[in-house]
Homo-oligomer: A and B are copies of this chain.
Amino acid sequence: MTLDLTGDVVALTRTLCDIPSVSGDEKAIADAVESALRALDHLEVLRDGDAVVARTSLGRPSRVVLAGHLDTVPIKDNLPIKINDDILYGRGTVDMKGGVAVMLQIAATLPEPRHDLTFVFYDHEEVASRLSGLGRLVREHPDWLAGDFAILGEPSNASVEGGCQGTMRIQITVPGVAAHSARSWRGVNAIHGAGAVLDLLRAYEPRQPIVDGLQYREGLNAVKVEGGIAGNVIPDECRVWVNYRFAPDRSGEEAEAHLRELFAGFEIEVQDLAPGARPGLDQPAAREFVEAVGGVVEAKLGWTDVARFAQLGIPAVNYGPGDPLLAHTDNEFCPAQDIRDSLAKLLKWLG
């Protein structure tokens, strides 16, 4: 498989989409990307597993990292993609082969960018956080990721989404005492007890703080509930899983303390905690980028890999073609013009 990085960016997107690359199966696409980049003399190319990194070394005063993942969620009869009326339909068109195509084209066609550039293409973004290819690079090759500012090419409707909110999942276990349901007063009903947890959730007023000029919007929700032993037994345990999405003015520790205070008296286990990232739009490279691409900036509400860059002290934003609300849907689609616009704006800024 040979990729043409200098032709039409929409054709390149189509080629990338049509290489199946569901998480765990990124070898073919990583091989194709690596081999296409190795053909470019102005780039140093590195590889770790199915992550490929390429970078210029022009001695520019600042370095911008452009990053995107190569994997997709499972295919749902939506490959190969179709193009009708200049719209691409199918898996990966939104999340995020368009963004990857834009970066590859920049890598190939801009040998002398005004900032040094590092391109990061990685595996396992769509699955458990511990498998993340970017997480692996952060742990094992942080030097490969060094830079002053990072742009993650996740779909953002080609507007800039700054930072990201954190996410935390806790399990609340409500105990009870089992009894035959014909003599229910001998037991304590754990599902009824969980009603008190739901009361707190129903009464909760989520914050909408402004952080570095962007308005975030938190959320606190039960995402799973499970309880019960048998149709004739008073349940002795009920478990409620709660997901807290918190603005980046709150650290992971603060988020945990907040939930422990809110659910005081309940047994809580933290199962997952990924802090957010402040938008970092006070950085010169970030400001310059925002101005170059049109100035519209919104807060990123979901957790994204910008938080992994924040972990390395690198401010990062989300900027890529495609409507994020269509990501993972069976009818994922992306207007070709979004991809062309995104490429043109980045080329103008970096050229």
Contact with B along A184-199 (1 / 0, CB 8 A): 1100010110110011
Instruction: Assess whether B182 is in contact with A245, with CB atoms less than 8 Å apart.
Output: yes
Q: Does A254 contact B (CB under 8 A)?
A: no
Instruction: Assess whether B235 is in contact with A224, with CB atoms less than 8 Å apart.
Output: yes
List of B residues within 8 angstroms of A185 by Cβ = 217, 219
List of B residues within 8 angstroms of A181 by Cβ = 167, 219, 221, 223, 243, 245
Q: Does A227 contact B (CB under 8 A)?
A: yes
Contact with B along A258-290 (1 / 0, CB 8 A): 000000000000001000000000000000000
Q: Does A130 contact B (CB under 8 A)?
A: no
List of B residues within 8 angstroms of A167 by Cβ = 181-182, 232
Instruction: Assess whether B245 is in contact with A223, with CB atoms less than 8 Å apart.
Output: no
Q: Does A233 contact B (CB under 8 A)?
A: yes
Q: Does A301 contact B (CB under 8 A)?
A: yes
Number of A residues near B (Cβ < 8 Å) is 44
Instruction: Assess whether A231 is in contact with B169, with CB atoms less than 8 Å apart.
Output: yes
- Chain B: minimal CB distance from A180 (Å): 7
Q: Does A238 contact B (CB under 8 A)?
A: yes
Q: Does A144 contact B (CB under 8 A)?
A: no
List of B residues within 8 angstroms of A296 by Cβ = none
List of B residues within 8 angstroms of A202 by Cβ = 192, 195
Instruction: Assess whether A223 is in contact with B231, with CB atoms less than 8 Å apart.
Output: yes
Instruction: Assess whether A223 is in contact with B232, with CB atoms less than 8 Å apart.
Output: yes
Contact check: which of B223, B230, B235 meets A233 at CB < 8 Å? B223
Please, how many angstroms separate the alpha-carbon atoms of A183 and B201 in the complex? 16
List of B residues within 8 angstroms of A198 by Cβ = 191-192, 194-195, 198
